[in-house]
């Protein structure tokens, strides 16, 4: 929810710069962790590709979506729709871009 990470496993599509690193980071952040999912009523539960849209919270209160942005492994987007954390996510992504973190170092 609210992010777009570079492609790394999309069939019939080239691997995008930063895709493998984004995938590795996400696994290191969430594998083996208990998480809580929260939908955003403004976005709906699934997108046009039938992907589940949710905010992902760790039990320690970390919002994984924001952490991914802070580390530069995705860009902030609601695909033209407003979402609850749009300003916060955009600021986190802008800071990562300015510091050339993650995918912004390609």
Taking only the tens place, the pLDDT of each residue in 24-72 is 999 999 999 999 999 998 888 998 889 899 999 999 999 999 999 999 9
Q: Which of 11-20, 35-44, 95-104 has the lowest mean pLDDT?
A: 11-20
Confidence tier at 9 by pLDDT (50, 70, 90): confident
- For the chain, give the mean pLDDT: 92
* Residue 59 Cα distances to 34, 43, 53, 82, 93, angstroms: 6, 24, 19, 26, 23
Q: Strand runs (DSSP E) across 12-54, as ranges?
A: 35-38
Residue 95 tokens read as 């800071």
Q: Strand runs (DSSP E) across 1-106, as ranges?
A: 3-4, 35-38, 55-58, 75-76
Q: What is this structure's pTM?
A: 0.90
The answer to whether 84 and 53 have CB atoms below 8 angstroms apart is no
Q: Which of 6-10, 34-38, 47-51, 82-86 has the lowest mean pLDDT?
A: 6-10
Nearest to 76 by CA among 54, 91, 62: 91
Backbone phi and psi for residue 23, each to the nearest 5 degrees, phi listed first:
-65, -45
């Amino acid at each position: 929810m609210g992010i777009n990470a570079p492609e790394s496993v999309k069939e019939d599509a080239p691997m995008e710069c930063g895709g493998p690193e984004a995938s590795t980071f996400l696994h290191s952040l969430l594998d083996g962790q208990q998480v809580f999912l929260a939908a955003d009523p403004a976005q709906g539960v699934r997108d046009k590709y039938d992907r589940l849209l949710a905010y992902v919270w760790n039990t320690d209160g970390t919002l994984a979506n924001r952490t991914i942005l802070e580390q530069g492994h995705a860009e902030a987007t609601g695909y033209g729709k407003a979402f609850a954390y749009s300003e916060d996510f955009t600021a986190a992504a802008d800071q990562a871009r300015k510091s050339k973190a993650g995918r912004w170092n390609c």
